[in-house]
Structure 1
């Protein structure tokens, strides 16, 4: 295997508010208000996810706005 060292970047508590806001925005984007409604939508097939490669994400970006 490969071994290495990862330097600590501080407490995860500082990152959690950003993660929370990101989840809220994502839920808003798919039209659900709560995580339980998101789970229900996934279970019923009303909410679906796409797996996108890094290349696909770069190609799908916004062009010519510099």
Structure 2
């Protein structure tokens, strides 16, 4: 559990926001390519609108995107 914060910090940009696409790829490595393309597109759009800096918000965004992409 102690590595959980470090793992998310690896996806953090200099401005404190989290790179959602990198975090998605790190946490869902076995996503099929068609679903991954939809996920990446959705998460990139989400990043344009919201500046997500919370690990919890990032996890919710990625999980929600995954469910919608399936």
TM-score by length of 2: 0.30
More helix by share: 2
Higher RCO structure, 1 or 2 (CA under 8 Å, sep 6+): 2
Larger radius of gyration: 1
TM-score by length of 1: 0.31
